[in-house]
Amino acid sequence: MIALASDHAGFEYKERLKKLLEELNLPYLDFGTLSKDSTDYPEWGHKASAAVSAGECDRGILVCGTGIGMSIVANKHKGIRAAACESVTAARLARQHNDANVLAVGERIAGWESVVDIVKVFLSTPFEGGRHGRRVEKIHSLTEK
């Protein structure tokens, strides 16, 4: 299950992502926003990230103007490793090396065709583990002390 959320600046891409996920036969939960009316990204980013943190969703995709604000919000949640990605390479490496479980993209930054490729790579790339596993473990263990 994919947690999906956006603010007003990412609303159009979120709606398009719903169709993409349906085409890929991937279930999702839409945590809002529900229109292009001005709204605050933390409200929506927290809802979707909480669902990933609680294990209700496996991964999340968040969309705002840049992807940066949503990634900051997501990373406030326990167990979340959110990456704001503007390229396929960043998305692939975020999965391979960081076991990122939330992707943030910016509707004002990346064209739709790029976002499609970024999302597909993010959802299909496995975590490499090994030395990267040790490093990912430190992300959470060192902050819990």
Q: Which residues are catalytic?
A: 64, 97
Other CB atoms within 10 Å distance of the CB of residue 95: 24
Taking the CA atoms of residue 123, residue 127, residue 128 and residue 134 in that order, the dihedral angle to the nearest 10 degrees is 160
**Partners of 84 in the β-ladder:** 104
Q: Of 22, 26, 29, whose CA–CA distance to 5 is shortest?
A: 29
